[in-house]
């Protein structure tokens, strides 16, 4: 049976948080389980820890401060994040990184919060789930400073250029691919890069509820992207890579288990 792990679900977003049971169950029916729930600030991180604990083995989570919220990082943040990250349901530090597209937080503040979280990931011997948008040069410079001490590092929702991909692979990063590749308007450049990602460095994600694959037919009635659509994204990726969907799904599943240090036998019965 083909299994999938959605490595980035914004389950506590306003568009999803009221339907958690249905989202988990519908995903499992499509063999997508467990789900990795993303924390984007410290308050939400506390919520995702609590929520994940209510769904053992079905939900795991990350705890961190997204660059949009970097202005909230202060002298107390590291202590609180450390406490959250030590909970059993937490499998990575993040989502952290840089976002120069929106600049919701000043860029120097973003860099400081990002570096602090990479430092904490090193101290706790935990992997890190990262974000980068239109900030590659600063992003890769900071990552490379900490990479030798990091257990593992993942750039989720990659949308960069070929040169940026090569630099990320040179830094031994895992690369998360979303339904962005299914967008005939914005995703064609990325679709051409997907075959360049080594088998042992690729992961699949929805980034739900965002980035609904535009090429899905029939088109879902709702504009919400859901974890249950992950098999479609993997099949699309497999076609681009000229691989069998089953083989790529197995590779992504194993990479995700390895990265998040999950037992490989997880939830083998959940999709039945």
How confident is the model over 127-143, as pLDDT tens digits? 999 999 999 999 999 99
Residue 131 marked ligand-binding: yes
Structure tokens at 60: 């795991």
- This prediction has a pTM of 0.95
Residue 207 marked ligand-binding: yes
Domain limits, the chain: 4-260
pLDDT number for residue 120 = 98
The single residue listed with the structure tokens 């001490």 is: 149
pLDDT number for residue 266 = 57
Q: What parts of the chain have a pLDDT lower than 50?
A: 267-272
Domain spanning 4-260: CATH 3.20.20.140: yes
Task: Round to whole Å and give the CA distance between 175 and 259.
Answer: 11
Structure tokens at 134: 């239109």
């Amino acid at each position: 049976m083909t299994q999938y792990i959605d490595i980035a679900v914004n389950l506590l977003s306003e568009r999803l948080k009221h339907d958690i049971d249905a989202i988990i169950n519908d995903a499992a029916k499509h063999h997508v389980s467990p789900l990795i729930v993303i924390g984007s600030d410290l308050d939400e991180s506390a919520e995702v820890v609590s929520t994940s604990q209510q769904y053992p083995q079905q939900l795991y989570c990350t705890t961190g401060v997204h660059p949009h919220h970097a202005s909230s990082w202060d002298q107390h943040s590291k202590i609180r994040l450390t406490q959250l990250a030590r909970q059993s349901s937490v499998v990575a530090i993040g989502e952290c990184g840089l976002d120069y597209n929106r600049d919701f937080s000043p860029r120097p503040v973003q860099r400081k919060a990002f570096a602090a979280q990479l430092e904490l990931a090193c101290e706790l011997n935990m992997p890190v789930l990262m974000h980068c948008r239109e900030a590659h040069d600063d992003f890769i410079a900071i990552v490379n400073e900490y990479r030798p001490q990091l257990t593992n590092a993942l750039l989720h929702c990659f949308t960069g250029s070929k040169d940026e991909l090569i630099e990320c692979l040179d830094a031994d990063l895992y690369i998360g691919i979303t339904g962005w590749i299914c967008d005939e308007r914005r995703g064609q450049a990325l679709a051409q890069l997907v075959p360049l990602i080594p088998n042992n460095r690729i992961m699949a994600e929805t980034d739900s509820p965002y980035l609904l694959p535009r090429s899905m037919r029939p088109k879902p009635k709702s504009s919400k992207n859901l974890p249950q659509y992950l098999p479609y994204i993997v099949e699309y990726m497999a076609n681009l890579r000229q691989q069998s969907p089953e083989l790529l799904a197995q590779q992504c599943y194993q990479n995700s288990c390895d990265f998040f240090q999950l037992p490989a036998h997880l939830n083998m019965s959940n999709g039945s």
